[in-house]
Amino acid sequence: MRLFRLLPLAVLFFSLAAHAGSVPRTIPLLLREQTDEGKVKTMSCFKKNLLAYFEREMNIRFAVQYLPFRRAEQLMLKGEGLLWGMPAIPPEEDPGKEYLFSEPVYKSYAWMVVRKNFNTRIESINDLKGLKLSTFYGVSYSPEFEQQRGKLFTVEEEPDSGHSRLNKLLIGRVDVLLMHSRHTTAEALMKSSSKYLPELNQLEILPHPLQEMQIRFALGRKALQPGNDWSRDLLADLNRAIARGQKTGAIQRIVSDSQPCS
């Protein structure tokens, strides 16, 4: 009788040992290349911690490749990698259903940065009439925003994510700079970002974001073709890891910067 009581524990032990000892599956991960004054920025502590979480939870290893966003998106659609950091797109923009998305990992907010003498009140897309906006290259916004791009307002896309965009705002070459962040308040964003972007101290972040986006992993349907072992059950595994991380609070602790860098 004692032997039968010990059997479930033995099965559990050997199951965990087998998982721990198995070789991690390698996943080609495509990341948006971020630059600052022409120099490629190193991976942030937040992103390191987030990717490390998924590697641990799923027993995988990410083979990271940095690329300009459009190039990364093209490779993802060809089935050559998993793309991180993309909001889901409306069905009408993907009639062929080529994009496959994970469940949301966290929310990102499009905060509006302006000069301190900016007098226009912005509460909706319509309030952007006649303004020139600076956005980070390759970022898509709501269908309403995209419909009005180039009509109600103009957009200048920049490959550079830091000082050069802020300096253009300071000298009046653009009216509004859209800055993406997981921070939920303008005060938290200013406190975090002004440490490495001192130009922000001469500017103002409006109190409400223009919009919020659910950030996900994206996979091209072609990745599911036979022979692509790396993509087998990948989205289902990601979704389970996302659900566990949200249930335990592990993802929120990473998003809130409450963990040391991996």
Q: What is the pLDDT of residue 136?
A: 82
Residue among 220, 241, 240 nearest 231 (CA): 220
pLDDT of 259 > 80? The answer is no
Query: What is residue 95's three-state secondary structure?
Result: coil
Q: What is the pLDDT of residue 83?
A: 97
Convert the pLDDT of each residue in 154-167 to its tens digit.
999 887 667 888 99
Taking the domain 107-213, which CATH number applies?
3.40.190.10
Q: What is the pLDDT of residue 3?
A: 45
In angstroms, the CA 148 to CA 146 distance is 5
**192 or 26, which is more confident:** 26
Convert the pLDDT of each residue in 97-114 to its tens digit.
999 999 999 999 999 999
Q: Which residues contact 119 (CB under 8 A, 6 or more apart)?
A: none
pLDDT band, residue 5 (cuts 50/70/90):
low
CATH superfamily for domain 25-106+214-255: Periplasmic binding protein-like II (3.40.190.10)
In angstroms, the CA 35 to CA 157 distance is 13
Would you say the CATH fold of 107-213 matches that of 25-106+214-255?
Answer: yes
Contact assessment for residue 100 and residue 235, using Cβ atoms and an 8 Å cutoff? yes
Give helix then strand counts, H and E, for the chain. Answer: 8, 12
Buried b (16+ CB within 10 A) or exposed e, 83-117: bbbbbbeeeeeeeeeebbbbbbbbebbbbbbbbee
Ordered by start, the domain boundaries in the chain are 25-106+214-255, 107-213
In angstroms, the CA 103 to CA 60 distance is 18
Structure token digits, residue 201: 């101290």
